[in-house]
């Protein structure tokens, strides 16, 4: 999409107040080119007081071997950056060179750089990621665990090289306030882990100069964030993260007269946005489960650090965090799988765990088990990971051991958030879990991280994903793939006339948006009647001949049978495609009236008389189909089944699904996750 088209689309989604604010931002940037509004020489920091420790002593049970392997790889110059695992960036790396494309980003005023243009900066995600400095924390943790000075020396070299190559306010690392905020969080953890103000790093005159240089950069980061908050239609997780960075930095380094004002502003913003950006029933309004994880992590870190300094967050803030955990627990199946609804970018605010089977969702549920005394969260989490050992210390380990695990009783309806569940035997080997998306497209006018997935659903049986959400794959680059993975065709629902339910306006922008509405939800079938979900979405009413899509789903828990009825209300003729996306472990074969899908321990038969039978796509690029993305910028093969046909006037398409489940009577433990992960390597799926 051309820059002009993008700007015109963006303008359509702004109100008058935002337009005024955007003009002010443009003026501010132009003044910045002349040095107006920038930090000159940072004021001298007061060194009398620093934030209280918020990281525990070396925790018992730590996987020190995994930690040291990660730290040694960083010192050897081998970095993991999205799809580039173990790539040789050197130590220290070239911070302004995109490791993926080799593009050297320009060294000019950061706010004057168009980071969306691949020709200017390369793939900006790859360029930004190392400069978040999660690896700095890796080195600091390795020193704390081992006492080896080479990790301290590496941490100092990493920081000094970044200060040298990325001077305020020049280059791409001074463009996005969120990137600065995440960097501040990692600096705060590294500062604490390396010994705080009493660290040997700061001994002598040379150490004092290094400390002053680090503190000057911290001040510049805070000043920058304060001047460039994400507002109006951009006030999503970015704004929350910016408040997070400013809050943690102000608490950790209350060294300047502005620090108290920054802390108060950030705390107030965090309290407000925690309630605005997350529904009362626990769904993040961006409608992207990975971003829900990120916001939950931000909330957790801010509360833990605030509490360590005698000022945690309000009861309302914590209650919202607990409801967010309820939603994650409801979506998570018995093996730990969570549907990949909406965008995902693999971001972590800080990396404190290095276990090979680490799960961000289970980690958060473990945190919330400790915060709220929830034995059901402990059951879903399965174990206490290293991140929580560092965050909660020996007291947290003791409380975890004393907390009784109880069976899960998932919340089945999130009416404000827009998600509904049907199923049976939750938490057991014969579990069936259907998750229905009847939610808004996304948050605010641009709905940046939403996907065109209204009325789609995922199906997990016995902890195996049979019908899945294919994920995200791409952001700023590879437009065809970016558009596919968030399209209607990439979800288990109906596509009309080759169109998406909602209209794409840019990589993180939607124009006309489908609205979904619940018509019925009965998760408890009365007198043996099937469980039921019914909803409708109006995205295709924009067509010349409007089409209203209504979906009715019944689940007979006694027969393990699902009936899906897609009703299309229209007057004229339309081309319709019904898509189903199968998990990596499913072998899919066409039969006379449908298909059979066999996973490792479960499976299904799918019957549908619409069209000429299923078209099975695997690794297809014309049309795109048969792909899943479990990690950012990585994709692997699955089977996508498509029933295509032409309708005339009101039409009902019926799909029947018969499930085969694992043997009855056995409880499934958290170890199922490791077993499933070991048997489902990328590119090894037993598909057609």
458-469 confidence digits (pLDDT tens): 999 999 999 999
- Residue 84 pLDDT grade (very low, low, confident, very high; cuts 50, 70, 90): very high
pLDDT computed for residue 60 by the predictor: 87
How far is C-alpha 315 from the chain's CA centre? 25
DSSP string spanning 358-408? Answer: --HHHHHHHHHHHHHT-HHHHHHH-S--HHHHHHHHHHHHHHHHHSPP---
- Residue 63 pLDDT grade (very low, low, confident, very high; cuts 50, 70, 90): very high
Q: Residue 498 pLDDT > 60, yes or no?
A: yes
pLDDT computed for residue 670 by the predictor: 39
Residue 575 bridge partners (DSSP): 646
The pLDDT tens digits of the residues spanning 39-60 come to 989 999 999 999 999 997 888 8
Q: Residue 512 pLDDT > 90, yes or no?
A: yes
Would you report the helix, strand and coil content of the chain in percent, each value rounded to 5?
A: 40, 20, 40
Residue 484 structure tokens = 């596919």
Kindly list the distances between the CA atom of residue 556 and the CA atoms of 188, 437, 512, 566, in Å, as whole numbers in the listed order.
53, 20, 36, 18
As a whole number, mean pLDDT of residues 379-395 equals: 97
Kindly list the distances between the CA atom of residue 223 and the CA atoms of 40, 95, 258, 323, in Å, as whole numbers in the listed order.
11, 22, 9, 34
The pLDDT tens digits of the residues spanning 567-600 come to 999 999 999 999 999 999 999 999 988 999 999 9
Q: Which residue did the predictor score with more confidence, 316 or 683? A: 316
**Between β-strands 561-569 and 464-467, what pairing exists: parallel, antiparallel or unpaired?**
unpaired
Kindly state the helix (H) or strand (E) to which residue 573 belongs, with its residue range.
strand 573-581
Residue 435 bridge partners (DSSP): 421, 458
As a whole number, mean pLDDT of residues 419-425 equals: 98
pLDDT computed for residue 323 by the predictor: 98
Backbone angles phi, psi at 644, to 5 degrees: -115, 145
**Spatial distance between the Cα atoms of 107 and 121, rounded to a whole number of angstroms:** 11
pLDDT computed for residue 176 by the predictor: 98
As a whole number, mean pLDDT of residues 235-250 equals: 98
Coil, helix or strand at residue 569: strand
**Between β-strands 548-556 and 531-537, what pairing exists: parallel, antiparallel or unpaired?**
antiparallel
The pLDDT tens digits of the residues spanning 336-362 come to 999 999 999 999 999 999 999 999 999
What single-letter DSSP state applies at residue 558? T
pLDDT computed for residue 519 by the predictor: 98
DSSP string spanning 215-240? Answer: HHHHHHHHHHHHH----GGG-SHHHH
Per the CB < 8 A criterion, the answer to whether 243 and 276 are in contact is: no
Q: Residue 668 pLDDT > 60, yes or no?
A: no
Return mean pLDDT, the chain. 94
- Residue 684 pLDDT grade (very low, low, confident, very high; cuts 50, 70, 90): very low
Backbone angles phi, psi at 496, to 5 degrees: -115, 130
Q: Residue 674 pLDDT > 50, yes or no?
A: no
Question: What's the pTM?
Answer: 0.94
As a whole number, mean pLDDT of residues 556-566 equals: 97
Q: Could you give the maximum distance between any two Cα atoms of the chain, in Å? A: 83
Kindly list the distances between the CA atom of residue 520 and the CA atoms of 523, 535, 536, in Å, as whole numbers in the listed order.
10, 7, 10
pLDDT computed for residue 679 by the predictor: 34
The pLDDT tens digits of the residues spanning 603-621 come to 999 999 999 999 999 999 9
pLDDT computed for residue 5 by the predictor: 87
Torsion of CA 274, 276, 278, 279, to 10 degrees: 130
**Spatial distance between the Cα atoms of 472 and 41, rounded to a whole number of angstroms:** 43
pLDDT computed for residue 686 by the predictor: 32
Q: Residue 654 pLDDT > 90, yes or no?
A: yes
Q: Whose CA is closest to 39, among 224, 248, 261, 254? A: 224
pLDDT computed for residue 1 by the predictor: 54
């Amino acid at each position: 999409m051309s820059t002009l088209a993008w700007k015109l689309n963006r303008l359509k989604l702004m109100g008058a107040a935002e337009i005024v604010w955007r003009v002010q931002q443009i003026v501010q940037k132009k003044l910045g080119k002349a040095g107006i509004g920038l930090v000159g020489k940072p004021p001298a920091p007061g060194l009398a007081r620093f934030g209280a420790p918020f990281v525990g002593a070396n925790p018992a049970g730590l996987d020190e071997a995994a930690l040291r392997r990660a730290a040694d790889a960083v010192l050897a110059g081998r970095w993991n950056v999205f799809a580039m695992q173990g790539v040789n960036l050197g130590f220290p790396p070239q911070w302004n060179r995109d490791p993926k494309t080799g593009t050297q980003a320009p060294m000019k005023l950061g706010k004057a750089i168009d980071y969306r243009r691949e020709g200017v900066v390369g793939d900006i995600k790859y360029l930004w990621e190392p400069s978040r400095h999660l690896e700095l924390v890796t080195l600091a943790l390795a020193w704390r665990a081992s006492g080896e000075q080479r990790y301290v020396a590496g941490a100092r070299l990493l920081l000094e090289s970044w200060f040298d190559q990325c001077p305020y306010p020049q280059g791409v690392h001074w463009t996005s306030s969120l990137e600065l905020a995440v960097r501040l969080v990692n600096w705060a953890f590294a500062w604490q882990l390396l010994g705080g103000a009493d660290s040997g790093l700061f001994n002598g005159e040379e150490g004092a100069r290094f400390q002053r240089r680090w503190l000057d950069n911290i001040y510049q980061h805070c000043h920058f964030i304060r001047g460039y908050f994400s507002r109006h239609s951009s006030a999503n997780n970015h704004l929350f993260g910016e408040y997070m960075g400013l809050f943690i930095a102000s608490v950790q380094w209350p060294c300047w007269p502005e620090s108290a004002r920054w802390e108060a502003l950030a705390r107030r913003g965090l309290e407000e946005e925690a309630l605005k950006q997350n529904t009362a029933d626990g769904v993040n309004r961006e409608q992207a489960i990975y971003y829900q994880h990120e916001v939950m992590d931000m909330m957790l870190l801010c509360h833990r650090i605030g509490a360590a300094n005698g000022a945690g967050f309000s009861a309302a803030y914590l209650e919202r965090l607990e409801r967010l955990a309820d939603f994650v627990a409801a979506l998570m199946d018995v093996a730990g799988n969570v549907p990949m609804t909406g965008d995902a970018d693999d971001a972590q605010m800080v990396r404190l765990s290095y276990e090979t089977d680490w799960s961000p969702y289970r980690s958060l549920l473990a945190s919330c088990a400790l915060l709220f005394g929830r034995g059901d969260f402990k059951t879903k989490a399965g174990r206490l990971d290293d991140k929580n050992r560092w965050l909660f210390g020996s007291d947290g380990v003791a409380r975890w051991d004393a907390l009784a695990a109880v069976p899960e009783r998932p919340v089945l309806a999130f009416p404000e958030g827009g998600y509904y569940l049907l199923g049976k035997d939750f938490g057991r080997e014969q579990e069936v879990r259907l998750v229905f998306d009847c939610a808004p497209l996304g948050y605010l006018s641009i709905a940046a991280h939403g996907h065109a997935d209204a009325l789609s659903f995922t199906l997990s049986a016995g902890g195996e994903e049979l019908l899945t959400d294919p994920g995200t794959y791409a952001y700023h680059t590879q437009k065809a793939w970016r558009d596919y993975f968030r399209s209607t065709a990439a979800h288990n629902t109906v596509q009309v006339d080759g169109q998406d339910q909602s209209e794409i306006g840019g990589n993180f922008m939607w124009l006309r948006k489908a609205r979904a509405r619940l018509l019925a939800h009965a998760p408890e079938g009365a007198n043996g009647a099937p469980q039921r979900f019914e909803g409708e979405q109006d995205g295709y009413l924009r067509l010349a001949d409007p089409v209203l899509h209504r979906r009715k789903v019944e689940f007979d828990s006694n027969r393990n049978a699902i009936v899906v009825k897609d009703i299309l209300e229209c007057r004229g003729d339309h081309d319709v495609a019904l898509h189903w996306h199968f998990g990596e472990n499913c072998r899919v074969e066409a039969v006379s009236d449908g298909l059979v899908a066999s996973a490792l321990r479960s499976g299904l038969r799918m019957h549908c008389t619409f069209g000429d039978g299923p078209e099975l796509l695997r690794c297809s690029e014309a049309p795109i189909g048969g792909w899943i993305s479990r990690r950012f910028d990585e994709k692997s093969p699955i089977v996508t089944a498509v029933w295509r046909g032409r309708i005339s006037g009101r039409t009902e398409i019926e799909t029947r699904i018969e499930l085969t489940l694992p043997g009855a009577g056995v409880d499934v433990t958290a170890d199922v996750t490791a077993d499933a992960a070991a048997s489902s390597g990328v590119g090894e799926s037993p598909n057609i």
